[in-house]
Structure 1
Amino acid sequence: MPEQLSLLLPVWAGDRPDFLTEAFRSSVEEQTRRPDQVVIVRDGPVPAALGSRIAELAATSPVPVDVVALERNVGLGPALDAGLAACRHSVVARMDADDISLPHRFAVQMPIMESGVDIVGSGLLEFGADRGDIVGMRTPPIDPADIRARARFAVPFNHPTVVYRRELVRSVGGYTDFALMEDYLLWAKLILAGARVANVAEPLVKYRVGEGAYARRGGLRQLRAEVAIQRRFKLIGFTTWPQFARNVLVRGGYRVVPERIRRMAYRTVIATYKG
């Protein structure tokens, strides 16, 4: 039976109005199967131009739009939790304010959800200066057993591509305020709760890679976040002591190597597109 879909799209002061317009239109107007509701979370005050663009998109949208306006910037996790509370439908799709959904994204993902799955992600294409400048591709694990196994070492879903069941996400506590790793923690909690997981290898989202992407994946802040998430995984029983030690060594080491080595490792292992 067809299910209805809410699209959850957070926006903050650093987002560009033109990128937001592309993201919104690609995920709503250009979809062969449109969402039934859009929830835009304004995470704190935004510049006037961005605020006007949000209002314009909401006013001209072909589907209902609810804008959740937070008084202060609370960060991605809490902002998404606030947006989930405003979603009216049981199935929710994630979208970022600077990415692009391919036109058949929801036409592919929704039948999978309707088959009884709790969360489905997809592959994604990384792009640079414009949507035609493809610089990488991320292909997630497809088999449910492989998804669960990979999650003990690496993020098993591409966050901007996921569609999931709202009540299951809320039943495990939602995203919470776990900066930089809020999505990874949520996937672990869902898997521990017995979520029925799926991925589509086909890229259904184009992910914008801005300047400084590799620098942001490293540094002391990222290292601290990495160690913190690994400690949480061990605490909740998601990983074993050997897995904890491996992850801190390998994943923690990735955060502190020189940027050129991090770029090389990322391109070799994760972003497999060769042009």
Structure 2
Amino acid sequence: MSEPFSLLLPVWAGDRPDFLAAAFRSSVDAQQRRPDEVVIVRDGPVGADLTACLDELVASSPVPVRMLALERNVGLGPALDAGLDACAHDVVARMDADDVCEPQRFAVQLPIVEAGADLVGSGLIEFADDAAVEVGRRTPPTDPRDIAARARFADPFNHPTVVMRRELVRRVGGYGEFALMEDYHLWAKMLMAGARVANVAEPLVRYRVGAGAYARRGGLGQLRAELGLQRRFKAMGFTTWPQFARNVVVRGGYRLVPEAVRRTAYRRVVAVHR
């Protein structure tokens, strides 16, 4: 039986209106199976151009749009938690304001959720300026056992591609304020709670990789977030001591190597499941 679902799309002052319009149109207007509502979380004040874009999208949308305007920028995790609370439906699909959906995305993913899954992701294609030109690809593990095993070392889901059941997300405490790692932390909590998980290898989202993408994956801020996440995983029993030690050395080291090395390592180890 088909279930209604919400599309959750956060927006902040740094987003570009043209990218947002393309993301919205691809995930709503162009979908073979459209969401039953869109919840846009405006994470703090935005400029006049972005406001005008939001107003136009709301006015022209073929499905109902609910705008949740936060008074200040609270960050991705808390913004998504607020958006989840505002969604009318238990099934919620994620979308970012600068990516592009393939038209079959929800027609592929929703039947898997309706068959019993709590969390479903997919592969994605990376692009730079032109969404039609592929510059990389991330293919996640698809078997639930492989997903669980992969999660002890790397994020097994591409966050912008997921569809999830809000009831379980709420039960484990939502995204929270784990900046830079909030999605990976949430998946770990859901797996420990017995979530039924799946991934579709087919790339259903085109993910925008802007300038400096690999630089942003390194540095002391990312290292601190990484170490904090690994400590949290060990404390909650998600990883063993040997896994913790491996992750601190390998994943922590990844944050400190030169950008060129990080780019190669990401392609070989993180982006594509082998």
TM-score category of the 2 structures, normalised to the smaller one: over 0.9
Counterpart in 2 of 1:199? Answer: 199
Contact 2:125 2:134 in 1 (8 A): yes
- 1:81 alignment partner, SS class: helix
Counterpart in 2 of 1:24? Answer: 24
Deviation per residue, 1:135-174 (Å, 9 max, x gap):
0000000000000010000001000000000111011000
Shift of 1:269: 2.7
TM-score normalized by the length of structure 1: 0.98
- 2:109 alignment partner, SS class: helix
Once residues 61 and 165 of structure 2 are traced to their aligned partners in structure 1, the CA distance between those partners, rounded to angstroms, is 24
Q: Which ranges of structure 2 fall in alignment gaps of 5 or more residues?
A: none
Counterpart in 2 of 1:175? Answer: 175
- 2:135 alignment partner, SS class: strand
Once residues 210 and 53 of structure 1 are traced to their aligned partners in structure 2, the CA distance between those partners, rounded to angstroms, is 21
Once residues 247 and 12 of structure 1 are traced to their aligned partners in structure 2, the CA distance between those partners, rounded to angstroms, is 32
Once residues 236 and 52 of structure 1 are traced to their aligned partners in structure 2, the CA distance between those partners, rounded to angstroms, is 44
Number of aligned residues? 273
Counterpart in 2 of 1:87? Answer: 87
Deviation per residue, 1:197-247 (Å, 9 max, x gap):
000000000000000000000000000000000000011110111111000
Once residues 267 and 168 of structure 1 are traced to their aligned partners in structure 2, the CA distance between those partners, rounded to angstroms, is 32
Aligned runs of 1:153-164 on 2, under 5 Å? 153-164=153-164
TM-score normalized by the length of structure 2: 0.98
Once residues 36 and 191 of structure 2 are traced to their aligned partners in structure 1, the CA distance between those partners, rounded to angstroms, is 27
Counterpart in 2 of 1:118? Answer: 118
Counterpart in 1 of 2:243? Answer: 243
- 1:41 alignment partner, SS class: strand
Whichever residue aligns with residue 40 of structure 2, its letter is I
Shift of 1:108: 0.1
Identity of aligned residues (%): 75
The 4+ residue runs of structure 1 with deviation greater than 4 A are none
Aligned runs of 1:124-273 on 2, under 5 Å? 124-271=124-271
Shift of 1:47: 0.6
Counterpart in 1 of 2:100? Answer: 100
Shift of 1:270: 3.4
Once residues 117 and 75 of structure 1 are traced to their aligned partners in structure 2, the CA distance between those partners, rounded to angstroms, is 28
Deviation per residue, 1:34-80 (Å, 9 max, x gap):
00000000000001100111111011100000000000000000000
Aligned runs of 1:41-60 on 2, under 5 Å? 41-60=41-60
Give me the CA root mean square deviation.
1.0
Shift of 1:266: 1.3
Deviation per residue, 1:175-217 (Å, 9 max, x gap):
0001000000000000000000000000000000000000000
Q: Which ranges of structure 1 fall in alignment gaps of 5 or more residues?
A: none
Counterpart in 1 of 2:37? Answer: 37
